[in-house]
Structure 1
Amino acid sequence: MAKELMGYQGLASAFRNKVESGAWQIAEAIPSEASLAKEYGVAVGTIRQAIAQLADDGVLVKRHGKSTVVSSGLDGQSMLRFFRYQLDGQEQLSPQAKVLDLKEGALDKEMARLTGWSCKSLLKIHRLRMIDGKPLLYETIYLPLPKFKKLASYKPKDFEDLFYPMYAKTCGVAVIKAKDQVRFELMKKPDAKALAMKEGHPAVRVNRIAFDLTGKPVEFRSSVGDAMAFQYSAEVN
């Protein structure tokens, strides 16, 4: 039993290395369970255990009746779970995104402390999320360079509404998990101006660190919105 357990854990590590090295590409199918069992000289059941572990970790995606693929990551909508977006009694809506500006800058000590990054420079992006032209969230996004160098040449209009799928498609970076920290504050002047609100209005700030397939932080995002639109729900069993 212990030998079998070590076997699938060792395979899971080997498969993770294939993803990290690029041998298994984002959104592409991995070899079949039968071929992997033959390659590694183990039972198909052991291969399935290794794949299941990586699926639980968000590295692989098992598709019922189809092949298993390398995860392309989150879709980027999860930040919106903290806010209610409704107009005229309609159901909750998905906002659009508008990049205001982007620029390169040096990595400062505070950002290095928060993320553990050791790069010399960053790409800093300001964007709004809106519904029907009304600003709802003001975001400041930090990306390490040169990992995201392809985006540094983009114009604001070139960015897609959902950033995480864009990261995977353009830069080969799949965001598979994120950690959010929520706090309440009074609206600062730059945030109030961007959101067309009054300085000092109750605000909620969500600071997020996003992680790639290797478990390394690849994005820091600070999002500010109206505290009166904030919502939180949880199920406790």
Structure 2
Amino acid sequence: MMKLDPHNPIPLHVQLKTILERQINQGYFQDKIPSERELTEQYEVSRTTVREAVSQLVQDGILEKRHGKGTFVSVRPIHEWLGSLSSTTETVKKMGMTPGAELLSHGIVDSPPHLESYIPDKQMYLIKRLRYANDEPLSIETHYYPVDIGEKMARYDIATRPLYEILETELHIQLWEGEQMITGRTLTSEEAELLGVKENHHALLAERYITDIEGTLIEHSTSLYRADLYSFHMKLLRK
């Protein structure tokens, strides 16, 4: 168990807030957090310190107080660490949550203009899915594949099965390198309805290109994430 450092210039309630938030993100508390008395005894601090830490987590939307019942974990945001080629399923599982998917559409479509330099074919295979974390709508994912690859993938359960798993396990395609760009925009009314939020809700847009070991484009995807449920993290090193 991490302990608070009274000699640290960082206030004790901020230290406690950081510890509790880390434990919540790691899935240590699946539902309800310990009571004020329990936290006071565990971390050897005053109730005022505990209340300040918990109040900040409530303000941040990480915790919610229920009258007469205690303090509970709200829907936890999903953190994706940049630098590794991970699927949404893998990221959600690492957060201790249950991933889910709903197939919205799939089939052969005209190639988007911005992919013409990667795929000379005039058509590609589209797979569009709504993704969930603990049954909460999380993102809308749109994947484009070369037609021959997409048609082979469609023979399997593309509705709920991880697409990377189908590519690697069933089709024996080695995903090698990815390039990802992250921007932001507001959702359309249709997108907002799918994600269960109000129109003009802010979203994170991640666009990803994935190639095999020979540099051939295997997948292009765009993912619209609810900004209140998803965040991207990275570690930086100054050289």
Instruction: Please list, as runs of the form range in 1=range in 2, the aligned pairs for 1:99-110 lying within 5 A after superposition.
Output: 99-110=103-114
Q: Give secondary structure in 2 for the equivalent of 1:166.
A: helix
2:123 aligned residue: 121
Contact 1:101 1:156 in 2 (8 A): no
Contact 1:165 1:174 in 2 (8 A): no
Higher strand fraction (1 or 2) = 2
Instruction: Name the CA distance, whole Å, in 2 between partners of 1:111 and 1:155.
Output: 26
Contiguous gaps of at least 5 residues in structure 2: 1-83
1:76 aligned residue: 87
CA RMSD, 1 decimal: 2.7
CA, structure 1 residues 220+180, in 2 after alignment: closer, same or farther (shift >3 Å)? same
* Higher relative contact order, structure no. (Cα contacts within 8 Å, ≥ 6 residues apart): 1
Look up the equivalent residue of 2:218 and give its one-letter code.
Answer: V
Q: Give secondary structure in 1 for the equivalent of 2:166.
A: helix
Instruction: Name the CA distance, whole Å, in 1 between partners of 2:150 and 2:202.
Output: 34
1:234 aligned residue: 235
1:112 aligned residue: 116
What is the aligned length? 153
2:60 aligned residue: none
Contact 2:89 2:99 in 1 (8 A): no
1:9 aligned residue: none
2:145 counterpart (131, 143, 146): 143
Deviations 1:168-207 (A, max 9, x none): 2232322122111000111122321221111101111000
Instruction: Name the CA distance, whole Å, in 2 between partners of 1:130 and 1:107.
Output: 27
Higher helix fraction (1 or 2) = 1
Deviations 1:133-159 (A, max 9, x none): 2111110111111233212445654x5
Contact 2:145 2:218 in 1 (8 A): yes
CA, structure 1 residues 165+79, in 2 after alignment: closer, same or farther (shift >3 Å)? closer
Q: Give secondary structure in 2 for the equivalent of 1:147.
A: helix
Instruction: Name the CA distance, whole Å, in 1 between partners of 2:107 and 2:157.
Output: 10
1:209 aligned residue: 209
Look up the equivalent residue of 1:221 and give its one-letter code.
Answer: S
Contact 1:203 1:225 in 2 (8 A): yes
Q: Give secondary structure in 2 for the equivalent of 1:93.
A: coil
Residue 227 of structure 1, CA deviation: 1.6
2:49 aligned residue: none
1:96 counterpart (89, 93, 100): 100
1:24 aligned residue: none
Instruction: Please list, as runs of the form range in 1=range in 2, the aligned pairs for 1:1-237 lying within 5 A after superposition.
Output: 76-77=87-88, 80=91, 92-93=96-97, 95-113=99-117, 116-154=118-156, 156-157=158-159, 159-160=160-161, 162-229=162-229, 230-237=231-238
Q: Give secondary structure in 2 for the equivalent of 1:164.
A: helix
Structure-1-length-normalised TM-score: 0.56
Look up the equivalent residue of 2:215 and give its one-letter code.
Answer: G
Instruction: Name the CA distance, whole Å, in 1 between partners of 2:96 and 2:158.
Output: 27
CA, structure 1 residues 117+102, in 2 after alignment: closer, same or farther (shift >3 Å)? same
Instruction: Name the CA distance, whole Å, in 1 between partners of 2:181 and 2:203.
Output: 14
Contact 2:108 2:123 in 1 (8 A): yes
The structure 1 segments of at least 4 consecutive aligned residues displaced by more than 3 Å after TM superposition are: 77-80, 152-157
Structure-2-length-normalised TM-score: 0.56
